[in-house]
């Protein structure tokens, strides 16, 4: 609480007025973090236009943007994820982001798969691969911020997507 006090400039009484416990404060912080990320990827989805391939590339560009890969944002996100097993309320908030993002990713991949005659399983496998790569790149950016190569990560993601959905990227 003293760290929060120092960062916010608020008195302990003022913090306690708004948050009845440290746990309530942590839940509010996680909720805000999850909502901010959702706002980022939803804006990227809209920015991608009406074609699933463009939407997917826009969302993934966002996932590797400085806005998302900020070290303080990643630090807080991974701290909450590390505590999620012992705090089900954190898992619920982290899981909400994952469910919504995964549904969006599955839907985009399904549209791309159908356009080239592939089935639902192919689309889900593609979405799982993309999701795993994004998560892996986030871990890499978090653990090695000075050496993380965003350009390489983007190339790898694009190569994977283009290999799964070649008809959409001619």
In a domain, 7, yes or no: no
In a domain, 97, yes or no: yes
In a domain, 1, yes or no: no
> The domain that contains 162 carries what CATH number?
1.10.357.10
In angstroms, the CA 71 to CA 138 distance is 10
In a domain, 16, yes or no: no
In a domain, 10, yes or no: no
Task: Provide the whole-model pTM.
Answer: 0.84
pLDDT of residue 95: 62
pLDDT of residue 21: 77
In a domain, 88, yes or no: yes
pLDDT of residue 34: 83
- Which residues form the domain of 150? 21-169
Asked if the model's pLDDT at residue 44 lies above 70, the reply is: yes
Calculate Rg over the CA atoms of the chain.
18
Domain count, the chain: 1
The pLDDT tens digits of the residues spanning 8-26 come to: 677 777 777 777 777 787 7
Asked if the model's pLDDT at residue 62 lies above 90, the reply is: yes
């Amino acid at each position: 609480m003293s760290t929060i006090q120092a960062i916010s400039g608020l008195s302990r009484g003022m913090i306690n007025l708004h948050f009845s416990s440290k746990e309530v404060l942590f839940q509010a912080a996680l909720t805000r973090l999850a909502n901010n990320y959702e706002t980022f990827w939803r804006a990227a989805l809209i920015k991608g236009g009406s074609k699933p391939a463009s939407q997917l590339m826009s969302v993934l560009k966002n996932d590797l943007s400085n806005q998302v890969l900020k070290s303080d944002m990643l630090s807080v996100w991974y701290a909450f994820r590390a505590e999620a097993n012992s705090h089900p309320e954190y898992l619920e908030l982290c899981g909400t982001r994952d469910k919504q993002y995964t549904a969006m990713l599955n839907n985009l991949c399904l549209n791309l798969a159908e356009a080239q005659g592939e089935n639902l399983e192919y689309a889900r496998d593609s979405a799982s691969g993309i999701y795993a790569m994004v998560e892996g790149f986030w871990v890499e950016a978090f653990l090695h911020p000075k050496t993380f190569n965003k350009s390489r990560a983007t190339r790898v993601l694009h190569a994977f997507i283009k290999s799964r959905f070649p008809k959409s990227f001619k």
